[in-house]
């Protein structure tokens, strides 16, 4: 069974859930500032999850297109690496959590950029590239929102 555009988007949506869970993990922390920072980051991730959900719903109504195994394999590899890098060891201040969030955003931007680059020669519908470009723009906006707070590190 071939992987499809919807499968790829579900994997990206799953990453959003994973990131939200990572940030929610800090809600039981005794440090009020760290707890609030994590709550804000989890809330922002929920907004991204909603965007991804809406895109998945929209794409599910369209004709399915297969995705090359090479692209899906590479995406799976990047997702596994990203999930493995998510740990809370050593994060004891809000600044460290923000630095980790910035790192996560950079990794998501890299992931989306790689998908765009690798799929540019594939016979995929134009809406696929429009979606990826939109998601990349969203991640860049999120990164831009986080960068001013990087001074807390």
Q: Domain extents for the chain?
A: 5-152
Q: 5-152: which CATH number, 2.40.10, 1.10.10, 1.20.1260, 3.90.550?
A: 1.20.1260
Question: 121: Cβ–Cβ under 8 A, 6 or more apart, which residues?
Answer: none
**What is the C-alpha separation between 24 and 41, in angstroms, rounded?**
9
The pLDDT score that the predictor gives to residue 109 is 96
The pLDDT score that the predictor gives to residue 29 is 82
The pLDDT score that the predictor gives to residue 1 is 64
pLDDT tens for 27-54 read: 888 889 999 999 999 999 999 999 999 9
């Amino acid at each position: 069974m071939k992987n499809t555009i919807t499968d790829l988007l579900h994997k990206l949506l799953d990453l959003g859930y994973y990131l939200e869970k990572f940030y929610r993990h800090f809600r039981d922390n005794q440090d009020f500032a760290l707890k609030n920072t994590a709550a804000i980051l989890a809330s922002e991730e929920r907004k991204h999850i909603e965007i991804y959900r809406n895109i998945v719903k929209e794409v599910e109504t369209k004709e399915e297109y297969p995705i090359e195994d090479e692209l899906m394999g590479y995406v799976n590899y990047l997702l596994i690496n990203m999930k493995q890098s998510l740990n809370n060891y050593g994060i004891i201040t809000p600044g460290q959590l923000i630095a980790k969030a910035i790192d996560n955003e950079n990794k998501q931007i890299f992931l989306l950029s790689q998908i765009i680059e690798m799929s540019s020669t594939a016979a995929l519908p134009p809406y696929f590239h429009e979606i990826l470009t939109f998601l990349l723009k969203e991640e860049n906006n999120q990164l831009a929102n986080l960068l001013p707070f990087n001074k807390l590190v």
